[in-house]
A = this chain, B = another copy of it.
Amino acid sequence: MAPVTNGRVLFNSYPDGYPEPGKTTVYDTTETIDLDTVPLNGGFLLKTLELSIDPYMRGRMVRPDTPSYSPPWAIGQVIPSNGVGVVLRSENPEAKVGDHISGFLEHKQYAVIKTLEGLRILDNPNKLPWTAFLGVLGMPGKTAFMAWREYSSAKKGETVFVSTGAGPVGSLVIQLAKIDGLKVIASAGSDEKVQFMKDIGADVAFNYKTSKTEEVLAKEGPIDIYWDNVGGETLEAAIDAAKLNARFIECGMISAYNTGYTFPIRNFFQIIAKSLSFHGFIIGRLTAKWDSEFYKTITPLVEGGQIKFKEHIYEGLERDGEGILAVQRGWNRGKAVVHVADE
């Protein structure tokens, strides 16, 4: 067969504010690949099917000296993220043709990969969509489940506030909190998202663009736990609404990712007055402890439909940059995934 284009998404320039499709990242079609003859050198040829777009990616679009748990991308590199692919050819006995493989993949249509190190062959007897392994059964699902178990100290009858409750992490937190018997207050940025949060069990769901967070929390709080995905003024409101000994799970601060400006927290003194704890974390720190319990607990609940999830699919790798921007803007309606190719 003749060589085909191997489309790739390259990191092209540091964004000042929000990432710009075609500028921050570019879709590049200069590389070709002959799928029949490309040398495998003992590895395997993977066809990319689905790629995850996540909020944390903004933190990697920074200059090399910026301290962060996720190392900065280099200008010109093919950007990576979690993804799912299928093995087309293989010289590696661990990866058989037709196997579906998940893990950190480059944003390109085809890749020759040496080993399965850091990757995982997916077992999918119930024929869930492969995208589920990037969301509720992937890194966002693990983030929600593992940090909830590790840091929430949730007790039945307590109250939790979840920001970005319609996203892949927040929506699982809402459902885990309901399973644990908590009252759930959840916020998101559109009425459609508010409806989804109600559908998955939130006791109080509101649109933070049309309701004041501090007023909702004053009425429906105080809170024992805050799951923070946004930071800024929402975090301040949560601190004001916190009970003594409340726990703050600091998962993200989307409000600060693109502004070049961190909203100052003016009431942090309450960490002393109310004896609060704040847990920033990286999911890698929790994986060894919670991985098997995650799959054992969450997989059957997803397969049985008791845990719901929502996806927003961007069709084609050329729409990668669009998905990246949408996630930073909150324009996506569900877990953002780029659908690169059918099987």
Interface residues of A (CB under 8 A from B): 59, 66-69, 231, 235, 244-245, 250-253, 256, 262, 264-282, 285
Q: Which residue of B lies closest to A248 (CB)?
A: B278
Distance from A59 Cβ to chain B, minimum over Cβ atoms (Å): 6
**Which one, B268, B275, B279, B285, contacts A262 given CB within 8 A?**
B268
The answer to whether B262 and A266 touch across the interface, beta carbons within 8 angstroms, is: yes
> Could you say which residues of chain B place their CB within 8 Å of the CB of A250?
271-272
Question: Is the CB–CB distance between A274 and B231 below 8 Å?
Answer: no
A215 to B108, CA, bound (A): 44
Query: How many Å lie between the Cα of A250 and that of B265 in the bound state?
Result: 15
Q: A262-B267, A267-B262, A268-B268 are in contact. Are A282 and B275 (CB under 8 A)?
A: yes
Instruction: Give A162 Cβ to nearest chain B Cβ, in Å.
Output: 16
- Inter-subunit contact A269/B67 (CB<8 Å): no
Partner of A275, one of B69, B256, B266, B275: B69
Of the candidates A67, A267, A275, A280, the one having the most CB atoms from chain B within 10 angstroms of its own CB is: A280
CB–CB B265/A272 < 8 A: no
Contact among B59, B67, B231, B269 for A231, CB-based, below 8 A: B269
Contact A277 B278, beta carbon cutoff 8 Å: yes
A67, A252, A273 — most chain B CB neighbours (10 Å): A273
How far does the Cβ of A86 sit from chain B's closest Cβ, in whole Å? 34
CB pair A277–B277 under 8 Å, yes or no, is yes
CB nearest to A229 among chain B residues: B272
Decide if A277 touches B279 in the complex (CB within 8 Å): yes
CA distance A253 to B272 in the complex (A): 7
A252 cross-chain contacts in B, Cβ below 8 A: 272
Q: List 28 A-B contacts (CB under 8 A).
A: A59-B272, A59-B273, A66-B273, A67-B273, A68-B273, A69-B244, A231-B268, A235-B268, A245-B285, A250-B271, A253-B269, A253-B272, A256-B269, A262-B267, A264-B264, A264-B265, A264-B266, A264-B268, A265-B265, A268-B268, A271-B278, A271-B280, A275-B281, A275-B285, A276-B278, A277-B278, A277-B279, A277-B280
